[in-house]
Structure 1
Amino acid sequence: MSDETIDDLMEATYCALCKHGYAELTMQDIAAESTKSKGTLHYHFDSKQDLLESFLEYLLDNFEERTATVPGETPVERLHEFVDELLTPSADDSAEEFRTAVLEIKAQSPYNEAYRERLREFDRVLRDRIATLVADGLEAGEFSDDVDPDEIADFLVTVFNGAEMRAAAVDRSPEQTKRHVRKYIDDVLRPEEAVKRDGATTSVEDEGDGK
């Protein structure tokens, strides 16, 4: 299958999921969003599940490419940027509809080993990205010595997943979660001297002197 065909079918899958959700989605719905025929879909994919497995792989590839480099001059700045990327709500209604559709797919994973395997890969990549940023911060002296990159990464992935679920289930914006995570990074993970050095807080002594 050519890259052009892959991109077309994956984009069509995205659009169809936004419109119909997972449960009601059909191959015809996807074909209707594509420049390709329904016959082409069935030529490359045996079923909706087969196509969605490929779609999850496609999303993972895009996520890995998009997050391979994170802007920021320091590891702490890059970790903040990464948090913002994950927890900033999209102004695009279709993006929120898509988030809901992906959660529907996730809900099928306890009963679908293929979905579960692909979602495990998402989880692994996300944890690895965060753990690497935290480890870089440790090496640069920006995080406290007792910080464990793997434990922090596992905790933050759990927070991100919970924020995503609440946004879809009860329409709770992840903005507040984002603020709490940023505060957690600065107030819990970072040693006091690093925070003072970077001007993130003002010392009690300075405040008392009126500085």
Structure 2
Amino acid sequence: MVEPVFSDPDGTREQILAATYRVLCDQGYANLTISAIGEEFEKSPSLVYQHYDSKDDLVLECLEFLLDHFEGKLKHDGIDDPSDQLEEVLDWWFTPAVDDKRMAFVSAMFELRIQAIHDPAFQEHFTRSDRLFGESIATGIRAGIDAGDFPECDPDAVAETIQSTIIGAGLRRSSTDSDEWLGQVHDELEKYLQIRVCAERDGDFEE
């Protein structure tokens, strides 16, 4: 979902943000330092210090860059099939076997989300992030209703339910060494969606 963003960073700023992203995923927020980012940076580490005063400045700009990319991708791609969109979201978050890079990214994001409890800047970011992600799900549901594929429902309420379940599952998955519950939660969420938004499309979200 985000790995290709930094595959070919353009210019010094993006290269610094790419280095920040890699160190954050590899070492976590607690062990993240500007010095470590400087060592990962492909140019002179002094450039990092010239552009940023603290690691939080770097991390927040990296988060905003990722979110802006996600928002731009949403606008560019549009919604071809609302049901497929929902399945893609659930599969991304609930697939049992994921590669190390994806799991490192998820763990890093939840480590940063914890910072939002006491840090207004992180809280502002995750408020925006949650709003954007929730709106993308709700927009897909509205598109399904308008097309006659989904029955009438409250898209915002359904989106909030999906998002809150995903956040809870993601936090639990990244903070424990157990994931046998993952399939159960996935199945129950799919049953909920079958009732709420896919009742008129036989076969969707069924085992």
- Normalising by the smaller structure, the TM-score range is 0.7 to 0.9
- Native 8 Å contact 2:141 2:197 kept in 1: no
CA displacement 1:72-124 (0-9 Å, x = unmatched): 5x322222223323433563213312322221211111211111111111101
Secondary structure of the 1:178 match is helix
- Native 8 Å contact 1:64 1:125 kept in 2: yes
**More divergent stretch after superposition (151-160 vs 163-172):** 163-172
Partner of 2:196: 188
- Native 8 Å contact 2:34 2:55 kept in 1: yes
Partner of 2:135: 128
Secondary structure of the 2:117 match is helix
Partner of 1:32: 39
User: Quick one: structure 1 residues 200 and 123, their matched pair in 2 at CA, closer, same or farther if it must change by over 3 Å?
Assistant: closer
Letter in 1 for 2:192: Y
Q: Among residues 44, 62, 83, which one is paired with 2:90 in the alignment?
A: 83
Secondary structure of the 2:38 match is helix
Q: Among residues 144, 147, 154, which one is paired with 1:137 in the alignment?
A: 144
User: Quick one: structure 1 residues 166 and 36, their matched pair in 2 at CA, closer, same or farther if it must change by over 3 Å?
Assistant: same
CA distance in 2, matches of 1:186, 1:130: 15
The alpha carbon displacement at 1:14 in A equals 1.5
Gaps in structure 2 of 5+ consecutive residues: 1-8
Partner of 1:166: 172
User: Quick one: structure 1 residues 163 and 78, their matched pair in 2 at CA, closer, same or farther if it must change by over 3 Å?
Assistant: same
- Aligned identity (percent) is 34
1:115 is the counterpart of 2:115 = no
The alpha carbon displacement at 1:199 in A equals 5.0
CA distance in 1, matches of 2:187, 2:64: 31
Kindly tell me the number of residue pairs found equivalent between the two proteins: 194
Aligned-pair Cα RMSD in Å: 2.4
CA distance in 2, matches of 1:144, 1:85: 25
1:179 is the counterpart of 2:157 = no
Letter in 1 for 2:62: F
Q: Among residues 5, 16, 19, which one is paired with 1:12 in the alignment?
A: 19
CA distance in 2, matches of 1:200, 1:104: 34
Q: TM-score, normalised by structure 1?
A: 0.81
CA distance in 2, matches of 1:53, 1:96: 20
The alpha carbon displacement at 1:70 in A equals 6.1
**More divergent stretch after superposition (123-132 vs 8-17):** 8-17
Q: TM-score, normalised by structure 2?
A: 0.82
1:148 is the counterpart of 2:154 = yes
CA distance in 1, matches of 2:204, 2:60: 44
CA distance in 1, matches of 2:70, 2:41: 22
CA distance in 2, matches of 1:88, 1:54: 29
CA distance in 2, matches of 1:65, 1:16: 25
